[in-house]
């Protein structure tokens, strides 16, 4: 199934796990970026893009 290409299948039972995994992956990336920016003590400040 091409879950990401068809919006009508977003809430399909087979598509939800994939979407959750993708969401978690992006969430972890966001957390790591925040953690890395905190450890760098603001020496490299990047404008946080509103990815939602």
Q: What does the pLDDT look like over 4-24, one tens digit per residue?
A: 555 555 566 676 777 788 888
CA nearest to 36, candidates 49, 23, 45: 45
pLDDT at 25: 86
Strands (E) located in 1-52: none
Q: Which residues contact 20 (CB under 8 A, 6 or more apart)?
A: none
Please write down the long-range contacts of 3-9, taking CB distance under 8 Å and 24 or more positions apart. none
3-state SS assignment for residue 50: coil
Q: What is the CA radius of gyration of the chain?
A: 16
What average pLDDT does the chain have? 69
* Two structure tokens written together for 31: 């957390």
Q: Which pTM was predicted?
A: 0.36
pLDDT at 4: 55
């Amino acid at each position: 199934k091409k879950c990401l290409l068809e919006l009508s299948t977003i809430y399909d039972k087979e598509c939800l796990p994939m979407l959750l995994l993708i969401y978690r992956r992006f969430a972890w990336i966001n957390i790591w970026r925040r953690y890395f920016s905190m450890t760098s003590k603001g020496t490299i400040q990047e404008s946080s893009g509103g990815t939602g």
